[in-house]
Chains A and B, each alone.
Chain A
Amino acid sequence: MSNAATPASAVTKQEPGGAVSFYGVWLLAAIALVVLPLVFSSGGSLTSFSLIGIAIIFALSYNILLGQTGLLSFGHAVQYGLGGFLAVHVMNAVASHNWPIPLPVIPLVGGLGGMAFALLVGWVMTKRAGTVFAMISLGIGELVASSSLILRSVFGGESGITTDRTALMPLFGWTFGPQIQVYYLIAFWVMVSAIAMYALTRTPLGRICNAVRDNPERVEFIGYDPHVVRYLAYMFAGFFAGIAGGLTAINFEIANSAYLGATQSGLVLFSAFIGGTAYFFGPILGAILVTYLQLGLTSVTSVWQLYFGVIFIGIVMFAPGGIAGILMKHRPLIRAGTLRSVIPSYLVAAIPTLALALGIILTIETVARFSGGDVINLLGIPFVATAPTTWAAAAVLLVGGFLVARITWRRVAEAWDRAATVARDRGYLA
């Protein structure tokens, strides 16, 4: 045991300037949020940034459940949507009564709405984790989503409820009419929410959430009631989801039943999972990627959901730790200086993998456009969906790419093992 101890002790090596780099990351994020719209100032990119910001808060709130407490929810959009509806109603009330409440406070109202609903249904929901929780969350999601179409006075039926964000009192001359002002409002709440959610992971409750995720049975024998822990986590998740919902309501000046539905719940699960639930920053990456894909793909292909499905299956099968998991796997190698020995194998593997990806795209598009549709434009090359040459090209790329990729990825694994062994010997890997 003592020989195992020597290398592992190096894992605990104090990194000089750890605190500096920690605050540096948050500072950089804040600067990036401020500078982004100055660099990319087109209306389209402003809209995208606004949506990405909201998606980040939403995905992080979801990860309080999935990544930190081990609760798989299929109905997280309920708190998000209800937060949005409450925000719209309060905005309309504030505007009609001329109450002195400025717009930037409204997301907090959304948050309290999301939390209030979590408070109401959470105790029953969080009694058990696992499949029971997942099923109840699905049921509650469907219940609320269908209620939203029935209870017209509250949810406005199919058309939803509209509002006017400029009708509230201006703050320091800001009316929040222009998108850039809304963007900064969202950016402000992204920073506040992200810091708050990160801080939550560093509290006694946050740590016990992790313990409940790992082993709820044992938690009972160190003085904690896992039911209470799950309930509190559920309320916090609801609160931050509500903030995201409130921001969406401000951004679109409407709240409708789509906010509450299963699609929205699925998207946030998707974002958090693709980004990686094991690390705090994972869902941020996932939210950025998924929102970006959603905005980008819809203009390129009519079957963009299909691509989401393929990506999701790919991540679940080959990288269950998500993007963050892939990135963090490289950290010990970078520290040990052995990453260089892996890179050539990556480059070799990239070629057939790219061919495989093109094969998948060509196959999907051929099927989608077979019975009428535009010519497929792949890397500038036109493909006609009904032409046998296109089918042949797709088949060659798909099958050939797969077979060659399989061999090259085996090489990557071997190179990886060698690099990891060295890293372990140097004490950078437990």
Chain B
Amino acid sequence: MTAAIQLNAVEKRFGNVGIIRDLNLSVARGERHAIIGPNGAGKSTTFNLISGHIKPTSGEIRLNGEVTSGLRPFEINRRGLSRSFQVTNVFARMTVWENVRCAVLWATGHRYAFWKNVDNLPEVKQRTAQILDDIHLSHRRDVPAGLLTYAEQRELEIGITIAGGASVIMLDEPTAGMSHAETERAVALIRRLTEGRTLVIVEHDMSVVFGLADRISVLVYGHIIASGTPEEIRGNPKVKEAYLGEEID
């Protein structure tokens, strides 16, 4: 079976500075894969490369076997990959309902239609309501996204990301800045919503990583130094060295 995401010898340089060096990564379909590493290791850059936000200097990225390096973000999204952002990135002046609905429109085939009433699309309506229900924001549906609490915005961020029904979901630090209780809630939410899909997650909270991930890759200075099951990563001396005594369990 082809991998959901495959990175072959990917490099990214900004000027003379190599941010990502010889990056090889394989994420199997249906797997929950966490990318961890110290600050500045290139985790977000890796996300940006896979999602098309930035283009690799060299190397090849494949999504479900198809080469996607060089494609624009929306082209990659249409091929079944959706991502969230570390810094909340919603449509601030639009309501919660509109936010999620916008994310449903392309996937339901309505594209740039200007001859259909957007309120009269049963499938869109039903799917939007379902997502709002899933992210527990139904009661806030008519509130502008910019007025939500931080935790609610993070949930909306996840809602927008999954709304299109992408087979590969990438979440960039979904629990950053959350309290312990909120984190637990968010993890349960992520676990439930990504059921049967491929999940790639960047996360600093090790309890989240080890609780959620089937496999973990450790990124240090733009290079993956280890990739394996949580047990393998825990016992890996190179990982321990990279984290210099930091607890990773």
Contact = CB atoms under 8 A, between A and B. Distances in A.
B112 A204 contact: yes
A1 interface: yes
Contact of B112 (A202, A213, A232): A232
A215 interface: yes
Contact of A202 (B74, B119, B142, B161): B119
A395 B92 CA distance: 44
B114 A221 contact: no
Interface in B90-112: 90-94, 98, 101-103, 105-107, 110-112
Contacts of B74: 219-225
A200 B118 CA distance: 10
A430 B90 CA distance: 18
A219 B72 CA distance: 12
A158 interface: no
B73 interface: yes
B217 interface: no
Contacts of A1: 149, 151-152
A217 interface: yes
Contacts of A211: 91, 94, 98, 102
Interface in B75-94: 77-78, 82-83, 85, 89-94
A229 interface: yes
Contacts of B144: 430
A217 B88 CA distance: 12
30 contacts: A1-B152, A8-B139, A8-B143, A9-B139, A12-B141, A202-B117, A203-B117, A204-B105, A204-B111, A204-B112, A204-B113, A204-B116, A204-B121, A208-B102, A210-B93, A213-B93, A215-B91, A218-B90, A219-B102, A220-B77, A221-B77, A222-B163, A222-B164, A223-B74, A223-B105, A224-B106, A224-B112, A228-B112, A430-B142, A430-B143
B93 A214 contact: yes
Interface string A193-205: 0000001101111
Given A220-B77, A221-B83, A215 B114 contact: no
Given A199-B117, A207-B101, 7 more contacts: A8-B143, A11-B143, A202-B118, A202-B119, A204-B110, A210-B98, A232-B114
Which of B89, B107, B112, B140 neighbours the largest number of chain A CB atoms within 10 Å of its CB? B112
Nearest to B136: A1
Nearest to B147: A430
Interface in A127-155: none
B114 A200 contact: yes
A317 interface: no
Contacts of A220: 72-74, 77
Nearest to A13: B142
Contacts of B78: 223
A213 B160 CA distance: 17
Given A8-B139, A8-B143, A220-B74, A214 B94 contact: yes
A219 B74 CA distance: 8
Contacts of A203: 113-118
B6 interface: no
Nearest to B84: A221
Nearest to B52: A220
Main secondary structure of the interface of A (DSSP, over half): helix
A205 B112 contact: yes
Nearest to B104: A222
Contacts of B105: 204, 207-208, 222-223
B51 interface: yes
A9 B73 CA distance: 36
A225 B103 CA distance: 13
A234 interface: no
A5 B164 contact: no
Nearest to A222: B103
Contacts of B72: 220, 225
Nearest to A228: B112
A430 B91 CA distance: 17
Contacts of A11: 142-143
B129 to A, nearest CB: 13
A229 B73 contact: no
A229 B112 CA distance: 7
B38 to A, nearest CB: 26
A3 to B, nearest CB: 11
A217 to B, nearest CB: 7
B94 A210 contact: yes
Contacts of A221: 51, 73-74, 77, 82-83, 161
A202 B116 CA distance: 8
A71 to B, nearest CB: 15
B106 A236 contact: no
A4 interface: yes
B89 A205 contact: no
A75 to B, nearest CB: 23
Contact of B91 (A200, A210, A223): A210
A229 B117 CA distance: 17
Contacts of B164: 222-223
Interface in A158-210: 199-200, 202-208, 210
B102 A222 contact: yes
A12 B92 CA distance: 18
Contacts of B139: 5, 8-9, 12
A33 to B, nearest CB: 24
Given A8-B140, A223-B74, A207 B92 contact: no
B108 to A, nearest CB: 9
Nearest to A231: B112
A208 to B, nearest CB: 6
Interface string B8-37: 000000000000000000000000000000
